[in-house]
Structure 1
Amino acid sequence: MDLRGLSLVKIKQLILNRKCKIYDIVAFYKDLYETNNKDINGYIEFFDDALKLAKEYDGLLDRGQGQDLPLIGLPIAVKDNIAIKNKSLTCASEILQGYISPYDATVIKRLKDRGAIFIGRTNMDEFAMGSSCEFSYYGVTFNPLNREYVVGGSSGGSGAVVADNQAPFALGSDTGGSVRI
């Protein structure tokens, strides 16, 4: 099933009506990541364990459980300055290579508690100190609509993966207009 352009509401309906397995949804976005990310560099990494969690959530729903989780199975990409416990957190800087977050940011904890699945870390300007997503240890993030241009904002990776349909939703942060550019 092609999920490109579907809203989170539509994806949730597919999940709850069991018209699409959560595992297949996450696998769909992983396939798009593997096919398209090299062209725009929106993701720093895709979390392989997202597929395992998707399978667990499918099992819950198959047993008639989990419907009380309002975000169950919804895939979300996360900017690399938002902490996810036991995941790499570099803020797109070489200095933080190898750092693993010992805790979840509040937004992550709240989304986890509601059943969201985090599928990957998105590129950004190093330490969110930029407005074009050109200054990352991982390289420039390009605009998926016109690859001759960069994306705007330090949260450019998050915007790029959503615009390129590599994720239906992504978290960013905003200090000076980052998610508004």
Structure 2
Amino acid sequence: MGKKKSLKPTKSLKDTEEVLTTDYIGGDALDDLLSKLVRSVEVAKGSRGGLPEKIWMKQQFAIGVNDVTRVLERMPASSSRTHSTPSSSEAHTVSGRGRAPLVPLQAVLVAADCNPKWLTKHIPTLASTRQVPVLYLKDNKAGSLRLGQVVNVRTALAIGVKARDSVVNKAIDEVLNRGSELVATGP
């Protein structure tokens, strides 16, 4: 029994997780955000320069929980988010081929209707160590469907917006700057 007690998270960590997961975007603010993102993606697609849509989407977004987690883990856990050059140990894979330069995430969008909850529970903690804001989208069991529409997939539990100079990034900046107007407190 002593081991079970030692495996429980400390109270401060638990409190931090609760604070990170009680804010969400819902209602009209969610409708505005998603419609703005869909419009900005459509506008940005016009400037994709002949790239296939799937490749262009991967350059703009980290799509899905695994991809978002992978990008966050590769980002430096420091106060600087603009660091985009990989270290020499990250630059080459085992096969000798170079890895594409890391593009940090500007923000992470997470569907609050995720079931089971543990699939996305690690994202706020990981994102906070990289200073990446997390926006929870709450839409009465349809958040993952609506989030998937932004990137033309059926459903998405999490989407990371990569920090590039595009219309999509400007839309996310606008949302982040208006933050307190859009965010409602938990149920």
Scaled to the shorter chain, the TM-score interval is under 0.3
The structure with the largest alpha-carbon Rg is 2
Higher strand share: 2
Q: TM-score, length-normalised on structure 2?
A: 0.27
Q: TM-score, length-normalised on structure 1?
A: 0.27
- Greater relative CO (CA pairs within 8 A, separation 6+): 2
